[in-house]
Structure 1
Amino acid sequence: MSAVDEVHENETDEDKKPSGLDEALPMEVDDQDFFDQKSSSATAANSAMKPESCVSAQSSSDEDQSNNESPIDSIHTDWSESDYLDAFQRKLSRGALGLTHSDRNSIIEEIHGVNTHIQEESPDLIRSSLLSLSTELRALVQDNAANGNTNSKEPSLSTAYILSQCIGSSSKRTYVNTPEFQLRFLRCDNFDARAAAIRMMKWLNLVHEVYGAYALYRPIQITDFTRRERKILQSGWLQVLPFRDRSGRRALIWLGEMGFNYDPVVRMKVLLFVLLAGTRDAETQRKGIVYLIWPFKTPRESVDTDNDRDYDMLSYARLAKIFVEATPTKCCAVHCCITSGNESMRSPWLISLYKLMFTLFENSMPVFNARVRFHVGTVQDSLEQLSGYGIPSGVIPITTTGTVKTVYLKQWLKLQRRIDDPLDEANELKFIDCPLSTDVLFRSGSTMLHNPGNVMFRGLIEAKIQELFGSNQLEDSHSSFSPPISTTKTKEDIAIGIVEEVVRDKNGRFLVWNSKDDCWKVLRDASAVTTKVATAYRDLKLKVAKVKDQQEQQQQQQQQQL
């Protein structure tokens, strides 16, 4: 074991970050691939104890399908969480069987964050794709005008888009026509102009239904919410994580009752805002987003909600299905965390949630269902399982006892107000809520190794230290090495080289935490950057040198004993 590896061994769990798959990727996808090992074991252990109704439902599942029985009808109130997971498992595995071997393995790699399938973007590609998108939008308008709307209850595909072009003194001023808005949809559909045009029109119909006409000519802002809606937004049932996963993707998490105790339109209003605000940057739009679903019962009295009103789950299902088809950010994975042994697992509310999930899976494309993974166990079990997929579990806003944390959410919402300030157009660049995957972070008292950029940064430092070990150029007084003075590089020289690699080769930035504004800001002082990098290099080198000396002393003691 090398000295650098020894340093890794001595680090705490908070300083570690998974660098790849914990296990080899399976070459084939079967039923158990949709569940972690703990959930598979729990499912198998409970199979013998299933209620008779559950066994009956399993044995007749094929017959039920032939009779066109709705999956909602197969829900039983006496099922355990394992029974529900078995039912989900069968449905998801059937959907995955419709995919090719190559597609299945590609999805598995993407779920684990080892292959993000990003298309290289050149100025020519962007320019030609935007032109093609405009052509497809016009063609869809003409097609809808020629075919008419056969369903008077639902708007035609192009209704909201046509309205967006008629608002204001000039259609060119509506943000729907800006490259920034349209590139979201092109990136989501891998620059397939036809698919992007359909997705964009569905999205405009959705925001028009939820927000109104003003959302067709300017971006959605936090000031669009009423006071009561802002309380719902701040309650924490929907949050975006402050850091990316190991492949640079952002994560959106639903917690507790996940907003199902609110009006369906208000719930969707919150979802659309959080999604758009959390995916402003090009990296997130290119790499996609990860969804985390963590249902559990929460005390309703803590929030001013519609406690006494029960909403039809079909209303949620209709809006959710439209959202899946219209969302402008690619979904890379869906992780559902189920707390086993939870007394609320059989509550009427959670049973309704399972019915909704069944409905969504029934109407979703197989390529979407294949991205769903379930994690069953305690809260700590689920956090560990998520870490195996490259998700920084340390920043997930839930305690081990199941309490939702809202500290970061409140900071994030406060920052959105400043970003949306019309008096300062540069706010989006000035205030950074989520660093890019190549950004290096400096914050007092933390190594920030849950940030991909800091993992990359540490790797660069370790490479420099390994070079010094190889050439005996350790200038630390505690080390047994004594390099020639003429060949020794100072830590400042090495720091300058590391800074150049981060900025020039990785296109990264150096950020510092601003406690006053509760956000990250770019450190533009070159000398300050060099000093911080040199300090980080020195600290790690001292650790490596100390471990190296300890290894040599142990070897000497072993030789003396021989």
Structure 2
Amino acid sequence: MSALQNIPRTLREEDERDKIEDELLLKASEMDALLTKELNQLSMNDRELTMEEIHGAHANKVKRMEESRLDSVLEQLQIELDAIQDERRRAYNIALGMNSTYVIERKFRTTFFRAESYDAKKAAIRMLHFLTYAREKFGENALLRPIRWDDMSDKAMAILEEGSMQILPARDNAGRLVLSLIADAGTGCPLVDRSQMCFYVFNCLAEDSLSQLLGVVVVFFMHNFVTAGIPEVEHRKGLIQILQAVPNRVSACHYCFPNTPFFHTLKAAFLLASGKESRTRSRFHIGTVTELVRYGLMEENPEALEKIVEIPHHKDYLFGKGQAIMKHQGNIALRALLKERLSCWENAAFKEKSSICWEIIHEVAQQGGRFLRDTPQGWFVEVEPDSVRKKVSIAFRDMLKRARRNNRGGQQQEKAQVAGVSSADTYLPFPITLDHAIQAQTYNDLNLSRKIPPKRQKVRTGEDDDFSEKMFCNFSMNNGSS
């Protein structure tokens, strides 16, 4: 009887769920219309710049301000900070009251300036949001120094150690760092812990000077997301606060969703929480994992931090072994450059060869590349110029040897073809006489001894000496029988 009573209730729940999904799909379509409207409101120039920034084609157009001009521009930032006299300034005033040198450091303020493309007013607002959020989540120590790993809670540390949110080890084609977020990052943890984790990671991204100029790319992978429900309003507000406070510019945000009604609704929730500027830089990739494979990143592509280089740039040349280094874009470009200069280097005198090596080193440097080697700690360091010159010279010699060896092989093949004799015909398929058999066996033993280390070579016994004779006898008997 109880089962019969549950049938209408189950049907009612399904009907209600269908109605909710229809309403959510309607909201999702409304957000799509809003996004289209905002894109259409942009001028032709702004729309083109936005598209270039999403696809990483803006690297050459990024404003790079000279150090001499930066001082005068930072004065404008101070003027804008002084002009703001409301609640947003509270954390900043507390920092000044604590005699904090951190909030007045040139490096700290420049980060916000670059994040807002040198707009002083926007940079001032972002800086105040940063201080307010940092004080709220990490305490007043965050007003005195950069946020550290041990400032986070144990739960926030545990989330990061899971690897659900991490900076990828390779940059994109434009040289931007890529932040990857897998859907289950921090699932079940309080909002405070997740907020600490996100804020800390974005602060780490801000330490990269190239990311300050080009922005960062964020990739959300939602295919393993447990559909427990749409993020609460509190979570959406938290996302907005983080995006407004972090000292970074998100130049592109990619969402990878399955093609289901729930995720279409989730798409609307993300767009609603992002704000107008972030919405225009968001792209949604709907489909299965297999369908999304074509949206892949390069195998290798990197950049630098002073002497220690955590992620090499795609123009850098890496010393080392392995397929990853061989396929590195900088290594491929250098091999092509060496191939172009090989004939000049071959015909040059000794001193001229050294000059050609230095020319190649300078040419790589002018293009923004460096010569790096990896370390046991997992990062890269720059190689001294003299060592680079020697290695370039060795690379020339190795390339020349390979070229000559290939030429000799081609010439021998041509001679064999002219004589009408194939190279395969020079070796007998089996011995004709006992002398031939012994000679062939000795030749094979000689080749084997070159390939196998002494410890692994098998000591031949007298029984093995009968091998050639047995082989010859078998051959003779077969011929006699035929």
Task: Tell me, yes or no, whether TM beats 0.5.
Answer: yes
SS in 2 for 1:432: strand
* Residues 289 and 329 in structure 1, CA contact (< 8 A), matched pair in contact too: yes
Q: Is structure 2 residue 379 aligned with structure 1 residue 519?
A: yes
Find the partner of 1:127 among 71, 88, 91.
71
Change in CA separation of 1:190 and 1:378 when aligned onto 2, cut-off 3 Å: same
Change in CA separation of 1:337 and 1:254 when aligned onto 2, cut-off 3 Å: same
- Give matches, 1:246-325, under 5 Å: 246-297=173-224, 313-325=232-244
Find the partner of 2:250 among 331, 337, 340.
331
Change in CA separation of 1:99 and 1:487 when aligned onto 2, cut-off 3 Å: same
More helix by share: 2
* Residues 336 and 374 in structure 1, CA contact (< 8 A), matched pair in contact too: yes
* Residues 494 and 534 in structure 1, CA contact (< 8 A), matched pair in contact too: no
Q: Give the TM-score normalised by the residue count of structure 1.
A: 0.61
SS in 1 for 2:283: strand
1:393-438 deviations in whole A, cap 9, x for unaligned? Answer: 679xxxxxxxxxxxxxxxxxxxxxxxxxxxxxxxx75543223455
Asked which structure has the greater CA Rg, the reply is 2
* Residues 513 and 520 in structure 1, CA contact (< 8 A), matched pair in contact too: yes
Task: Give, in whole Å, the separation in 2 of the partners of 1:262 and 1:551.
Answer: 67
Instruction: Tell me what 1:359 maps to.
Output: 272
Kindly provide the amino acid, as one letter, of the partner of residue 114 in structure 1.
Answer: A
Tell me the CA shift for residue 268 of structure 1: 1.4
Kindly provide the amino acid, as one letter, of the partner of residue 75 in structure 1.
Answer: L
* Residues 250 and 289 in structure 1, CA contact (< 8 A), matched pair in contact too: yes
SS in 2 for 1:333: strand
Task: Give, in whole Å, the separation in 2 of the partners of 1:184 and 1:269.
Answer: 20
Tell me the CA shift for residue 533 of structure 1: 3.6
* Residues 231 and 269 in structure 2, CA contact (< 8 A), matched pair in contact too: no
Q: Is structure 2 residue 285 aligned with structure 1 residue 375?
A: yes
* Residues 491 and 538 in structure 1, CA contact (< 8 A), matched pair in contact too: no
Task: Give, in whole Å, the separation in 2 of the partners of 1:315 and 1:139.
Answer: 31
Instruction: Tell me what 2:298 maps to.
Output: 392
- Consecutive unaligned residues of structure 2, counting only runs of 5 or more, are 1-14, 418-482
Change in CA separation of 1:466 and 1:161 when aligned onto 2, cut-off 3 Å: same
Tell me the CA shift for residue 129 of structure 1: 1.2
Instruction: Tell me what 1:118 maps to.
Output: 62
Q: Is structure 2 residue 136 aligned with structure 1 residue 206?
A: no
Change in CA separation of 1:289 and 1:487 when aligned onto 2, cut-off 3 Å: same
Task: Give, in whole Å, the separation in 1 of the partners of 2:312 and 2:361.
Answer: 17
Change in CA separation of 1:87 and 1:536 when aligned onto 2, cut-off 3 Å: farther
1:65-90 deviations in whole A, cap 9, x for unaligned? Answer: xxxxxxx99315xxxxxx99866644
Tell me the CA shift for residue 346 of structure 1: 6.6
Instruction: Tell me what 1:160 maps to.
Output: 91
Kindly provide the amino acid, as one letter, of the partner of residue 334 in structure 1.
Answer: C
Tell me the CA shift for residue 110 of structure 1: 1.8
Task: Give, in whole Å, the separation in 2 of the partners of 1:164 and 1:467.
Answer: 59
1:294-350 deviations in whole A, cap 9, x for unaligned? Answer: 113269xxxxxxxxx99962121111111222221111111112245xxxx577xx6
Find the partner of 1:501 among 359, 363, 369.
363
SS in 2 for 1:190: coil
Q: Is structure 2 residue 106 aligned with structure 1 residue 179?
A: yes
Task: Give, in whole Å, the separation in 1 of the partners of 2:155 and 2:73.
Answer: 41
* Residues 116 and 249 in structure 2, CA contact (< 8 A), matched pair in contact too: yes
Task: Give, in whole Å, the separation in 2 of the partners of 1:88 and 1:313.
Answer: 17
Instruction: Give the total of aligned pairs.
Output: 397
Task: Give, in whole Å, the separation in 2 of the partners of 1:201 and 1:119.
Answer: 23
Instruction: Tell me what 1:530 maps to.
Output: 389
* Residues 439 and 508 in structure 1, CA contact (< 8 A), matched pair in contact too: yes
Tell me the CA shift for residue 543 of structure 1: 7.8
Instruction: Tell me what 2:329 maps to.
Output: 455
Tell me the CA shift for residue 440 of structure 1: 2.9
Task: Give, in whole Å, the separation in 2 of the partners of 1:203 and 1:98.
Answer: 29
Q: Give the TM-score normalised by the residue count of structure 2.
A: 0.70
Change in CA separation of 1:221 and 1:534 when aligned onto 2, cut-off 3 Å: farther
RCO comparison, higher one (Cα < 8 Å, 6+) = 1
Task: Give, in whole Å, the separation in 1 of the partners of 2:299 and 2:184.
Answer: 20
Kindly provide the amino acid, as one letter, of the partner of residue 392 in structure 1.
Answer: M
* Residues 314 and 356 in structure 1, CA contact (< 8 A), matched pair in contact too: no
- Give matches, 1:68-147, under 5 Å: 74-75=23-24, 89-116=32-59, 117-140=61-84, 143-144=85-86
1:491-528 deviations in whole A, cap 9, x for unaligned? Answer: 7554332222233x24543222112x22222323x343
Task: Give, in whole Å, the separation in 2 of the partners of 1:527 and 1:429.
Answer: 19
Kindly provide the amino acid, as one letter, of the partner of residue 136 in structure 1.
Answer: E
Task: Give, in whole Å, the separation in 1 of the partners of 2:43 and 2:50.
Answer: 11
1:41-61 deviations in whole A, cap 9, x for unaligned? Answer: xxxxxxxxxxx999999xxxx
* Residues 221 and 256 in structure 2, CA contact (< 8 A), matched pair in contact too: yes
* Residues 179 and 216 in structure 2, CA contact (< 8 A), matched pair in contact too: yes
